Amino acid sequence: MQQFLVTVKGEHQRADLALLTELLKTITTLSRSHVKSLFHNKRVLMSGKPIPPSFLLSTGTHQLVIIDWNPEELLETNARPSKHGPFLPTIYEDEFLLVLNKESGIPSIPHTPEETETAVGSALAKVPSISDIGYKGLEPGIMHRLDTLTSGILVFAKKQEEFLRLRALWKTGKIKKTYRALSGSGHPLPPMPFTIDYRIAHDVRSKKRMIAITDDVPDKQIRGKPIKAVTHVLKAAQSMASGLTEFTIEIETGVMHQIRCHMAQKDFPILGDTIYGGQPSSRLWLHAWRLTLPAVSGIVLTLEAKLPASWPGY
């Protein structure tokens, strides 16, 4: 075991970020992914107990312990290609971009190098050179993430200059992200379109759940600083036969569980999303359907992930 003293100067800080800051003093090539792998393997202890990477440390100095500390191991913590080859369908590819259609149940990124059957693993099997792009480590080339149970478009940069260009564009709102979602709620539909702009924060009652900040949510029910989140519900279609409502949704921001949390707050939880009150189902019926972005050439690309064959009415 190796002890580390980490100092938090602000009100709160995630444990993985605080530990990363301390470790970077001696291992300058570390990334956040390297450190998160230690947490996910329950090798970071506080007061003798494992803590998750999202654990919030208060202002002051804290003692964290790493089990089986081996700096060389962290230096070798890189994502590996899928053992089954590029198993995810390719939506689009050119010399700058690789765009995949992720299946529900497949993680976007691995937590450890041994976890190879991820979107990153599939991308590495197709284009090994992306291992040197972007944040490297366990997140090479990937521009954004989808929840494991969400399907649809994932974008990878194949060149470092393209990664930096897209990362800047992602912050400007010039990349449009459109989703399709199903809800089994029987509530009447509001007039279309409508916008949900509640800020979102972590719910202190659950490590897996976010919470929309409305007027009746007390401060003690959230942890961390609320984050701006804007969701536009563009249209909806209800099926009397199935009792389902299909929504077309566009998001301006990309906060964790944004659509799931916002739609549940409006009484339309996603089908299969039991964390937010959705009816149980075989999967989470949320699909990253369409993405529009300016290419290097100046042409605007409209990329579309085909709906899964199991999608009702497809």
Write out pLDDT tens, residues 106-120: 999 987 788 899 999
Q: Distance between CA atoms of 159 and 293, rounded to whole angstroms? A: 16
The burial class, CB within 10 Å (0-12 / 13-18 / 19+), for 225 is exposed
**Other residues' Cβ atoms within 10 Å of the Cβ of residue 95:** 8
Q: Distance between CA atoms of 202 and 224, rounded to whole angstroms? A: 7
Q: Give me the helices (H) in 146-230, please.
A: 160-170
Strand stretches in 67-149, DSSP E: 90-93, 97-102
Q: Distance between CA atoms of 269 and 157, rounded to whole angstroms? A: 33
- CA terminus-to-terminus distance, the chain: 54
Contacts for 13 with CB less than 8 Å, ≥ 6 apart: 56, 57
What's the pLDDT score for residue 95? 96
| Domain annotation for the chain: domains and CATH numbers | 2-75 (3.10.290.10), 90-172 (3.30.2350.10), 179-281 (3.30.2350.10)
What's the pLDDT score for residue 40? 83
Q: Distance between CA atoms of 209 and 138, rounded to whole angstroms? A: 24
What's the pLDDT score for residue 75? 64
Q: Distance between CA atoms of 126 and 62, rounded to whole angstroms? A: 43
Identify which of 163, 158, 146, 167 has the alpha carbon closest to the alpha carbon of residue 102. 146
Helix, strand, coil share of the chain (percent; to 5): 20, 35, 50
Identify which of 21, 76, 15 has the alpha carbon closest to the alpha carbon of residue 47. 15
Q: Are 100 and 106 contacting, i.e. CB atoms less than 8 angstroms apart? A: no
- Residue 147: C-alpha distances to residues 17, 73, 144, 150 (Å): 21, 28, 10, 5
Q: Are 312 and 182 contacting, i.e. CB atoms less than 8 angstroms apart? A: yes
Q: Are 154 and 100 contacting, i.e. CB atoms less than 8 angstroms apart? A: yes
Q: What parts of the chain have a pLDDT lower than 70?
A: 29, 73-77, 314
What's the pLDDT score for residue 152? 98
Tokens 């107990």 belong to 49
Q: Give me the helices (H) in 174-215, please.
A: none
Query: Token pair of 41, please?
Result: 């393997």
Identify which of 287, 259, 272 has the alpha carbon closest to the alpha carbon of residue 195. 259
Query: Token pair of 254, please?
Result: 């990309």
Q: Is the pTM of this model over 0.75?
A: yes
- Residue 279: C-alpha distances to residues 147, 200, 233, 276 (Å): 18, 22, 20, 9
Q: Distance between CA atoms of 104 and 270, rounded to whole angstroms? A: 14
- Residue 298: C-alpha distances to residues 144, 293, 295 (Å): 21, 10, 5
